[in-house]
A and B are shown apart, each in its own frame.
Chain A
Amino acid sequence: MRGPSARHPDDQREQLPAVEGTIADAAEMKVGDRVVYPNQGVCAVVGVEEQDILGQKLQLVRMRREEDGAAVLVPKNKVPSIGLRRVATGAQMEGVFHYLAAQFDDPELDWKVRHRDNADRLIAGGVLGVAEVVKGLHSLSRIRPLPTKEREQYDNARHLLVHEIAVSLGVPPVLAEDYVDFALMPPAGVKFDLKPPPTPVLLPSRPKKRRPVAEEEDDLGLGELGIDLDLAGALEGAAAPEGEAPAAEGEGTTEGAEGEGTEPAAEGAGAEPAEDAGEEPPIPAAVPRAKPAPKPERPARAKAAAPKAAPKAAKKAPAKKAAKPAAKPAAKARGKGAAKRGGKKK
């Protein structure tokens, strides 16, 4: 059996099915009901009360955590969003045990992904999500000892799972724990007649961080305001006499900066989109292209950067040019470097 499925791409985000038993409305909860608060455990509903908090009258559902009697108060309107769910049924529990007892040889090895996914599973994955965390970390622990954070996560997940099993099956927690480990680590000679395990929990996709696009960053919106600074002429006048800036940029290619290397050739055709195309899908870059107003600014902006770069380049370029032929004979340069290093050591 393979491990839990990978994260969903964005387009399937809306289609994720709710975990079985999720409470969609506070009205479904009655006094005495036993519900599972994600990451907290099994709670008993005590009642609904109204409290005055910061001048607002809030309807709160009061619950008592069964493990230690701690009071848990949840605003009534937040009930659907926090992932409260009913205690797993016997059929669900059977699926959990068949999942735990199944072969598992594909633990996620990237700790960042693993830790994040496990945290999501504990919150939104239902009882099977908790079982996945226990099983995933347990199988990983067979390869190498877990780091401290994950050891704690494993212990927490085990705690939640054991208590939910205990409540669901009506057995003491120690017995529930024995059941879990009987499935995870069966004794010698014991073989289970396993049914196909339930489908692993689908995780919600996280919003991806958008990379800032250079054009959008540089665009001050002056075109839209009707201001034209006309820096182009001024910059050309300043940069032309130097005459060595393009050469200096061209040299950049030899240094290994690929993006810079395309600039001199692409300047007229818009160097920036060419740079973007290599990094990110061109969707954001296409938006400014459609605007007619900012277009004339691009060369201006591109050249606006030039006066800063040009004097530097003008200063550096001759030095580089002078240094390069000297550096070409590698043996000489290495010899010098080695001599210097050797000298320092001594």
Chain B
Amino acid sequence: MIRIVTLDRIDPGDLAFLTATLYRAFGVGTEHAGDRELPAGVERKDGKVDAEKLLADAPTVRALPDDKVLYLTAAPLALRAGPLGEPPCWGFADFGGERAIVSTARLPERGVTEASIETWRRRLAREATHALGHTWDLHHCYDARCAMHPSWSQGLSDQPEPDLCNFCREKSERKIRLAKT
């Protein structure tokens, strides 16, 4: 089961679209588990939120052992700089674990037209699928049409689909089938 926790206000229509898309992507039930506050002390000096720290300190929700918890926030996330610099951050996850977090800060403007809202929702669903994919041991995929393709890649289309490629879908299905519950 995927439990979505919102750390900032999200439109109910967007949440409904997200739950439906995640259900289609992974074949497991998805529900909104409620709203929570952003934990204190996770902000960095530059105003961004430390993704690692946020994931560690995020408020807990009631969940079964194999459940996945997805946190949604509007705060911009940041990661530790690596040997070649700091990679841009759309979301973060506990690899093979339970928790994932997605930020809407880097998504394109939501706008007010139906088309722009649809684009925004699809991109949010894509990033959520990507982050949750990591919790099912999925690595980044070289296929630019797959949701597991890196979000900053230049090969990504303007409106990427929230679908997994065959390889990633089969791998995630295997993991889900092996789940204890």
Which residues of A does B touch, CB under 8 Å?
93-94, 97, 101, 138, 141-142, 145-146, 151, 154-155, 158-159, 162, 169, 171-175, 177-183, 185, 187-188, 190, 192
Contact = CB atoms under 8 A, between A and B. Distances in A.
B83 A175 contact: no
Q: 7 closest A-B pairs (Cβ-Cβ)?
A: A179-B82, A173-B95, A182-B87, A187-B152, A141-B142, A178-B87, A97-B83
Given A145-B143, A174-B94, A181 B82 contact: no
Nearest to B52: A172
Interface string B88-125: 11001111100000000000000000000000000000
A179 B88 contact: no
Nearest to B79: A175
Given A97-B82, A187-B88, 5 more contacts: A155-B171, A171-B82, A173-B96, A174-B92, A179-B83
A158 B139 CA distance: 8
A159 B96 CA distance: 12
Interface residues of B, number: 27
10 contacts: A169-B82, A172-B94, A174-B92, A175-B79, A177-B134, A178-B79, A181-B140, A182-B150, A183-B84, A187-B153
Contacts of A138: 142
Contacts of B143: 141, 145
A159 B139 contact: yes
B84 A97 contact: yes
Nearest to A90: B83
Interface of B: 52, 79-80, 82-85, 87-89, 92-96, 134, 139-140, 142-143, 150, 152-155, 167, 171
Nearest to B155: A185
A185 B154 contact: yes
Contact of B84 (A169, A174, A192): A192
A174 B94 CA distance: 7
B138 to A, nearest CB: 9
Contacts of B95: 172-174, 177
A326 B51 CA distance: 87
Given A141-B142, A187-B152, A93 B83 contact: yes
Nearest to A193: B84
A118 to B, nearest CB: 15
A345 B68 CA distance: 67
B49 to A, nearest CB: 15
B139 A162 contact: yes
Contacts of A172: 52, 94-95
Contact of B87 (A181, A188, A192): A181
